[in-house]
Structure 1
Amino acid sequence: MSEILKSAAKVNMSEESSDLKDQVSRVLSSADKENIKDENFDLFEEGGANDEVDQAESKRVARKFDYHMMWVLCVLYGINYVDKAALGWAVLLNFRSDLHLVGDDYSWVSSIFYFGYLGAQYPASYCLQRFPVGKVICISTFLWSIIMFGHIGCKNYAGILVCRFLLGVFEAPISGGFVLFTSLFYTRKEQVTRTMFWGSMQGIFYVIFSFVSYGLGYANNASLSEWQLVYLVLGLCSAIISIVWFFLVPDTPKNARFLTKEEKIIAIKRVSKNMMGTKTHDWKYQQMWDCLIDVKTWILIAFIVLSMIPNGGLTNFGTLVLSSIVHNTLQSIAVSVGSSFFSSGQMLIYSYFASKYDNLRTIGMSGPLLLAIAGLSAVYATEDHGGKWGRVFAYWMINSYAVTWPFCLSVLGSNYAGHTKRATMSMLLLIFFSVGNIVGPFCFQSSDAPKYTKALATILGCFCACFIIAVLFRYYLIFENNRRDKKYGKVDTKEDSVKREEKLSGIINGMKDQTDTENKNFRYVL
């Protein structure tokens, strides 16, 4: 009896595959097929181009990616963040006196990182498009670990400027690479939670290495200075995680050794429903222009610039502001971890709700800013009075703004189709990310120390502007979806309620590497 049932199942699957291939032939001409250069199209076609993947199987494959890869992504992204943040700890550990920094020298040391980061964005985006994303991330991580070791040998202002500039160059591919890499393995809905997972590592690793730095601050009898020990530890961590990535993380689902052939087909069909294809290696200049004339590009850029001006200042001067509240240099390192708990905790909460509900991306760009505005207003208003620990808690609230960055990356990964267009937007986003972070430290003038009242007022204005932009961005996406519905016909973006052939047409357009503006079936997620 069981043999009869198995035979019947095979016949049914064969008939379904044949029917699905007939559907593909109706939406994909032979000429189109020859022009498709998506490297995973063979697996997509071998699976019958079935867009209706069994949900249980889809979740099982997603869990395999989580189990084998997500922890590596989380560790690497966390290390990537604290490598940049290390300067904020070093400045409390005789860094300025050892390198003879005076006046605004420290501001330039802070900002020069982002000059390197900015200058390397075009080659970084080009490499991410032309070469395997995973390999670009891995090599970049190993190279920046070498630069972290190089910080230890710096003896003067010129030396530290060179190291910080090169650190920015080699870290340039990471954030954009993580967005592209996540979109290779996860559906649009899954991308939000996974982006929040590895994005939350910024706060979690800041907590961990704040305590490490706090401990190293008491290593007074070592042959290296306390701040040099911080860079030694972080350099070792960076080198180790790059080696782990090389051996454990595949470049695409097709190359995943931990998946069976059937699971690889399911993995490709899962992400094909994003209507973005999977991976091509061509650089299309027309898609660069498409990105530049897209209204949502410039709305996002305005948000990024205004949110990164506070980030550039608080990342490097935040511990100094906090030390003016608690009046103890080393204690300010330990106390600063509260702000990271505040931000990373919110990210994990948002990731939970994002797994349950749709269209939370733009809410995640605006909601956390209300807490940041409230906290900064309290710190600013109680400058000359108020309890110490009440002001510390208000300072922790300011870091809520950090929650908005992973949501911005999620918007990029979910709402930009066309591989070159997405890489271009990643490049632009990170260029203006750099601009904001370059400007930020110069809001903190030495003449305004130690309370930096003018800088805090500037940051408050930036947060308020970002909130308004995020709300406008949500309504713009709603407007654009309604406009496309009127022009091309309504498309229900819920997976189970779209006509099969219509949905398949959108998927094939993604495999053709069409942009979101070219693909008539593409709708934006909020």
Structure 2
Amino acid sequence: MSYSFHIQEKREGWPAAISNTEGDEIHTDVAAQYANHFTNSGETYSQRDERRLRWKIDLRLVPLLWFNVTLGSMDKVTTSTAALYNFRQDTGLDGDKYSWVGSAFYFGYLIWCLPSGSLLQKLPLAKVLCMVQLLWGCILISTGFANSFAGLIALRVLLGALEAPIVPGNFLILGRWAIGFLHDDHQWRAMFWITGAMTIAWAVVIGIFLPDNPVQAKFVQPREKAVAIERLRADQTGIENKTFNKKQMMETFADPKTWLMFLFHLTISIPNGGLTNFAALVIKGLGYTSQRSTLLMMPTGVVQTVASYLCNGGVFLCLKYLPNYHTRAAWVLLGILVGLVSTVFLHTLAVDDYSGRLAALYMAYFYFGPYVVSLGINTANTAGHTKKVTTNALVFVSYCVSNIMAPQFFLSSQAPVYPLGIAVILGSYVLSAAFIILYAAYCVYENRRRDRVGDVTAGERVHRNTDFKDLTDKENLHFRYVW
């Protein structure tokens, strides 16, 4: 489809309205006001300017976004650690009620996925994250006062709804910027109070220091904003547009990539749902005390961190030294393979092989590396702001469904080995590998099709007729998928 664009209006800080040859009104990206700075002014910028700006942005954003995710991950597993300290007994979680407390979180997440995506599009992003973190902290503190199954279910549903905007919000931000107190068996309440207070404090930091987008970042000078936007031009994904586009939403539902990524996340998140809620109980079932089990849970976070850095670091190095090769799916498959082999050992090792089972349990957490890389692939392969928001929402719907189902396979009657739950994790690794291979194959097919039918150069950096016009990846023939 060819486009002839006509600027109708331009206001500082807002996208201009444009129309294509078919008469449909399209709203340009918020970055459009800086997109032609260097063309119009005749200025240039050097690699030194880029490096200086990159460090300036990274030093501000990376710590904020890193702690955003860290707090969310920490807060979610408080029930797992609390289960070691009479949490279930004190709140009447007999039978499989504990499994439902684990699932309840993701019912809230599922319900609020799509509405939160709309909020992230319409409202200032950083401010939404700030308010969500404040409420999140209050809910956590309230959980420390809970005494019943019904109360816990309600609080966990609310907590899940509040997490729904956090990870998608972090990725939208990125896309815009390219044990000591646990000595008493009844001290589980303190974990919720402390983590909740930390989250509230962090929300204040987010509200003050995290910018909504490059255009509104006060710590970046106007010329630096133009440099930042120029560096993002080749991605063809845009930065931000507040206008909801129904056609983009419908395109999302018709895109095969959407559903392949949906199925991938439905399967790769099964280990998260199971291990997050039951790993501590599996470790305690090996014969360790509650305090010792809590300490032995610490390496699970280390493994997740290593998996994330290994897979993402591998992608980064390949992009730097092998820029002409697509390697993202390969790193996803490597991470899946590590988790798959580990789960095989966890499923087959003798019950009394404590050291072997513990090591296998740790390495089963390697799912986190492929999960994070896949989120990056999804972001890089989706253009058009409404399409981005809708795609993110669907991906996290699958994440919720997966995490709702996973705890139900860990039957209390099978404690502490949980053979059914471990077998399901094993199967999920196999399926997720198949789905990411199909996703990569579709990207290869689509790129080759565009090379055949298009009259554009795939490696060309500047496309004035489509850059920052809020076109989707389907509408823009200049767009090439990564895999």
With normalisation by structure 2, the TM-score equals 0.91
Partners of 1:490 and 1:45 lie apart in 2 by 20
* Equivalent-residue separation in structure 1 for 2:297 and 2:400 (angstroms): 24
Query: 1:59 matched to which residue of 2?
Result: 51
Task: Decide whether aligned partners of structure 1 residues 360 and 51 sit closer, same or farther in structure 2, where only a CA change above 3 A counts.
Answer: farther
Alignment partner of 1:255 out of 211, 216, 219: 216
Q: Do residues 521 (structure 1) and 478 (structure 2) align? A: yes
Aligned pair 1:401/2:367, yes or no?
A: yes
Shift of 1:145: 0.8
Aligned partners of 2:402, 2:91: CA distance in 1, in Å?
Answer: 26
Aligned to 1:415: 381
Q: Which amino acid aligns with 1:145?
A: G
- CA shift for structure 1 position 421: 0.4
Letter in 2 for 1:372: G
Q: 1:34 & 1:390 partners in 2: Cα distance?
A: 62
Residue 233 of structure 2 is aligned to residue 272 of structure 1: yes
**What is the distance in 2 between the residues matched to 1:113 and 1:457?**
23
Matching residue within 398, 402, 411 for 1:432 = 398
More displaced 10-residue stretch of structure 1: 424-433 or 454-463: 454-463
- SS of the residue 2:243 aligns to: coil
**C-alpha offsets along residues 327-385 of structure 1, whole Å, 9 cap, x if unaligned?**
33321221122232222113223333322223332223211111111111112111335
Match of 1:297 in 2: 258
Distance of 2:44 and 2:346 partners within structure 1? 53
Unaligned runs of 5+ in 2: 10-15, 19-26, 320-325
Rounded to whole Å, the distance in 1 between the matches of 2:307 and 2:48 is 29
Once residues 166 and 66 of structure 1 are traced to their aligned partners in structure 2, the CA distance between those partners, rounded to angstroms, is 32
Letter in 1 for 2:447: N
2:286 is paired with a residue whose SS is: helix
Give yes or no for contact 1:510–1:519 (8 Å, CA) kept in 2.
Answer: no
Task: Give the distance between the partners of 2:426 and 2:312, measured in 1 at CA.
Answer: 26
- The one-letter amino acid paired with 1:141 is Q
Q: Are positions 1:108 and 2:108 aligned together?
A: no
Can you list the C-alpha shifts for 1:68-125, whole angstroms capped at 9, x where unaligned?
Answer: 2211111121001111111110111110111011111111111111111100111100
Asked if the contact 1:179/1:412 (under 8 Å) is kept, the reply is no
Aligned-partner Cα distance in 2 for 1:176–1:514? 20
> Which residues in structure 2 correspond to 1:176-215 (within 5 Å)?
176-186=168-178, 212=179, 215=180
Whole-Å separation in 2 of the counterparts to 1:322 and 1:234: 23
- Contact kept, 8 Å, 2:211 with 2:217, in 1: the verdict is yes
Alignment match, 2:355: 389
Give CA deviations for 1:277-314 in whole Å, capped at 9, x if unaligned: 22110111111110111111111111111122222111
Tell whether 2:65 aligns with 1:73.
yes
- Counterpart CA distance in 1 for 2:365 and 2:416 is 19
Distance 2:239 2:301 in 1: 34
2:442 corresponding residue in structure 1: 476
Contact 2:38-2:44 within 8 A present in 1 as well: no
- The residue identity in structure 2 corresponding to 1:504 is V
Aligned AA (1:79): L
**Residue-pair matches, total:** 460
The aligned amino acid for 1:452 is Y
| Partner Cα separation in structure 1 for residue 423 and residue 82 of structure 2 | 26
Structure 1 pair 314–144 and aligned structure 2 pair: CA distance change class (3 A): same
Letter in 2 for 1:367: L
Residues of 2 paired with 1:394 and 1:52: CA distance? Answer: 54
**Is the contact between residue 68 and residue 166 of structure 2 (CA under 8 Å) also seen in structure 1?**
no
- Cα deviation code 1:485-512 (max 9, x no counterpart): 111146333xxxx2xxxx432x642421
Residue 234 in structure 1 maps to residue 195 in structure 2: yes
Distance 1:228 1:31 in 2: 58
Q: Which residue of 1 aligns with 2:140?
A: 148
Contact 1:69 1:249 in 2 (8 A): yes
> Residues 264 and 436 of structure 2 are in contact (CA less than 8 Å); yes or no, is this contact kept in structure 1?
yes
CA distance in 1, matches of 2:402, 2:226: 42
What is the Cα deviation at residue 52 of structure 1?
Answer: 8.1
Matched with 2:90 is: 98
- Say whether 1:378 aligns with 2:369: no
| Residue 325 of structure 1, aligned match among 268, 286, 291 | 286
SS at match of 2:458: coil
Task: Decide whether aligned partners of structure 1 residues 490 and 265 sit closer, same or farther in structure 2, where only a CA change above 3 A counts.
Answer: closer
What is the SS of the residue equivalent to 2:285?
A: helix
- Conserved 8 A contact 1:379-1:395: yes
Where is the helix percentage greater, Structure 1 or Structure 2? 1
Counterpart residue number, 1:41: 32
Q: Deviations over 1:425-474 (max 9, x none)?
A: 00100111000000000001112112111111121111111112222222
Residues 385 and 103 of structure 1, relative CA distance in 2, 3 Å threshold: closer
**What amino acid is the match of 2:343?**
L
Q: Where in structure 2 are the equivalents of 1:479-518 lying within 5 Å?
A: 479-489=445-455, 491-493=457-459, 498=460, 503-505=461-463, 508-518=465-475
Deviates more, 1:360-369 or 1:454-463: 360-369
The structure 1 residue matched to 2:153, chosen from 155, 161, 180, is 161
Does the Cα contact within 8 Å between 1:51 and 1:273 map onto a contact in 2?
no
RMSD, aligned CA: 2.1
Question: Which amino acid counterpart does residue 237 of structure 1 have in structure 2?
Answer: M
* Residue 51 to residue 271, structure 1, CA distance change in 2 (3 Å): farther
CA distance in 2, matches of 1:437, 1:86: 16
Cα distance in 1 between the residues matched to 2:427 and 2:66: 32
